[in-house]
Amino acid sequence: MKRVYNFSPGPSMLPLPVLKQAAVEMTDAQGSGQSVMEMSHRSGDFKPIIENTEALLRSLMGIPPNYRVLFLQGGASLQFSMIPINLAGVEPGAPKKRATYVETGIWAKKAAEEGAKYVELVLGASSQDRAYTYIPKPPAPNPGDAYYHITLNNTIVGTRWTDLPSTGRVPLVADISSSILSAPLEVSRFGLLYAGAQKNLGPAGTTVVIIREDLIGKAPSWTPAMLRYDLHAQEGSLYNTPSCYGIYIIGLVLEWLKALGGVPAIAELNRKKAALFYGYLDHSRLFRSPVDPAFRSLMNLPFVAVLADPLERANLERRFVQEAARQGLVNLAGHRLVGGMRASMYNAMPIEGVQALIRFMEHFEEREKEGGTHVSHTNHEQDLSSRA
Ligand SMILES: *Cc1c(COP(=O)(O)O)cnc(C)c1O
């Protein structure tokens, strides 16, 4: 069997034991005589699957009883619309409600652009001035706001919030697509949390929404049925056919995580993996992290080559990504908007994968030195902004 170390930002690696169990259960899931793909979502066979997935998520994240867990579709991107509509949408002719957004990256910006269609948007702060390489000082909440939106881990630029903003009575809403279950999170600090599954939870196609009960039921009358939290909550995520197979795989991933020791254990492992990689980058003569060290992500770790000539650098980076792939270290190219490289190390990336990547980079660097590539130090924040 061939398995690569997949550093993709998403869809990303799944734990091998999960894939093996799914393979074993492919044609006969848990004695039902059917694949989960063939089950009616309203059957007695599927009910325990969705209930088990929810119960595991609740216990692993410590979700309080006054929060609902919804399994929806449309990705994190559909939440960019569902959140403003459901939490702050108004009837035709009524004045718009206000919401604050903090722009810390490309996904945060997309969320704000979509939100601005439905709310009076206050751009509380932005780190665009330095190519999103840091988290700005969070603005004070406006007491009348419907909500306050942040992106907890910025997948493309590789930053994360280290302290949550205090928003008083204004519900804090967070996109946790690329950090869910990677480290402890106090759910009660938030009004709503959401995540596309394809980074840390399972296959693409399922979106998890964790919403405080008092925020449900505020949608204006024009809201399309499929976009209403109240309807999905009433129906236990079975208003229409959910992503049954994805919900089942998420359940297997959560079982795997629980057996490993839950969030505290995986958080420790994630800290170790990131410390190894940043430790290497900070001593490398060829590669460097472009991100402010105070806000470095533990999940998505961008890096750039330290070459003054942009053409030379682009060539080297292209060669790096190709050679790494030949060694079974795949999907290391940075996002098309920012360039460079990026290693995403979600929960399922074993520490051996990170060690293999570092070994490859050390060899690569050694060969470049022998090959006489001119290595010089440049300003990396400028590097990144000139490309974005
Ligand atoms: C991947 C990602 C998204 C987009 O997710 P989709 O499920 O593809 O819509 C949004 N926000 C963050 C933080 C992400 O990492």
- Measured from the CB, is residue 53 less than 6 Å from ligand 1? no
Lowest-pLDDT range, 232-236, 317-321, 380-384? 380-384
Q: Which atom of ligand 1 is nearest to the CA of 105?
A: 13
Question: CATH number for the domain including 355?
Answer: 3.90.1150.10
Ligand 1 and 75: CB distance under 6 A: yes
Residues contacting residue 231 through CB under 8 Å, at least 6 positions apart: 225, 239
Domain final position from 227, 243, 260: 260
pLDDT at residue 90 tops 70: yes
Instruction: Output the CA–CA distances (angstroms, integers) from residue 287 to 50, 72, 329, in the order listed.
Output: 44, 40, 17
Are residues 256 and 268 both part of a single domain? no
272-327: per-residue pLDDT in tens? 999 999 999 999 999 999 999 999 999 999 999 999 899 999 999 999 999 999 99
Tens digits of per-residue pLDDT, 330-351? 999 999 888 899 999 999 999 9
The pLDDT value given to residue 383? 45
Answer yes or no: is pLDDT of 204 > 60: yes
Residue 346 is predicted with a pLDDT of 98
Domain count for the chain: 2
**Do residues 154 and 173 both lie within one domain?**
yes
Do both 255 and 267 map to the same domain?
no
Whether residue 177 has its Cβ less than 6 Å from ligand 1: yes
**166 and 46 co-located in one domain:** yes
Phi, psi at residue 160, to the nearest 5°?
-145, 155
Q: Which neighbouring-strand residues pair with 174?
A: 150, 193
Residues 328 and 197 reside in one and the same domain? no
Residue 177 Cα to ligand 1 midpoint, Å, equals 6
Residue 313 alpha carbon to ligand 1 centre in Å: 29
Confidence band (pLDDT; 50, 70, 90) for 48?
very high
Residue that terminates a domain, selected from 206, 228, 260: 260
Asked whether residue 7 is domain-assigned, the answer is no
Name the amino acid, one letter, at 186: E
- Poorest-confidence range of 239-243, 303-307, 378-382? 378-382
CATH number for the domain harbouring residue 136: 3.40.640.10
With a cut of 70, say whether residue 372 has pLDDT above it.
no
Dist. CA 154 → ligand 1 center (Å): 10
Asked if residue 295 and residue 253 are part of one domain, the reply reads: no
Query: Which residue has the CA at smallest separation from atom 11 of ligand 1?
Result: 107
**What domain range includes position 91?**
16-260
The Cα 108–Cα 124 span in angstroms is: 12
Mutate to test the pocket of ligand 1, among 8, 73, 77, 161 (most ligand atoms within 8 A of CB): 77
Whether 60 maps to a domain, the answer reads: yes
Q: Are 216 and 93 in a shared domain? A: yes
240 and 278 in a common domain:
no
pLDDT of residue 380: 45
CA of 359 to the centre of ligand 1 (A): 30
Catalytic residues: 107, 175, 199
* Bridge pairing between strands 207-212 and 67-72: antiparallel
Ligand 1 binding pocket includes 178 (Cβ within 6 Å): yes
Paired tokens of 90: 């108004």
3-state secondary structure at position 147: coil
Residues of the chain with pLDDT > 70, as a percent, come to: 96
Which among 354, 282, 364 is positioned nearest to 320, based on CA atoms?
364
Say whether 149 sits in a helix, a strand or coil. strand
Residue 381: predicted pLDDT? 43
* H-assigned helices in 116-238: 229-234
Please report whether residue 10 resides in a domain: no
Q: Is the CB of 151 under 6 A from ligand 1?
A: yes
**How high does pLDDT run on average in the chain?**
95
How far is residue 211's CA from residue 232's CA, in Å, rounded to a whole number?
Answer: 12
- Interval 68-84 mean pLDDT: 98
CA of 94 to the centre of ligand 1 (A): 31
- The answer on pLDDT for 378 being more than 70 is no
Question: 202 in a domain, yes or no?
Answer: yes
| pLDDT of amino acid 384 | 44
How many CB atoms within 10 Å of residue 46?
Answer: 21
pTM of the model: 0.95
- At residue 373, the pLDDT reads 56
- Residue from 107, 161, 182 to probe ligand 1 pocket by mutation (most atoms less than 8 Å from CB): 107
Ligand 1 contact, 77 CB (< 6 A): yes
**Mean pLDDT on 83-94:** 98
> Percent of the chain having pLDDT more than 90?
93
Task: State which of 226, 260, 294 marks the end of a domain.
Answer: 260
Question: Using a 6 Å cutoff on CB, does residue 158 contact ligand 1?
Answer: no
pLDDT tens per residue across span 147-187: 999 999 999 999 999 999 999 999 999 999 999 999 999 99
Is residue 321, in this structure, part of any structural domain at all? yes
How far apart are the two ends of the chain, measured CA to CA in Å? 39
Q: How far apart, in whole angstroms, are the C-alpha atoms of residue 17 and residue 197?
A: 18
Dihedral over alpha carbons 344, 266, 3, 332 (to 10 degrees): 10
Q: Residue 377 pLDDT more than 50?
A: no
**Looking at the structure, do residues 94 and 132 belong to the same domain, yes or no?**
yes
What SS3 state is found at 208?
strand
Nearest CA to 187 out of 315, 82, 60 is that of 60
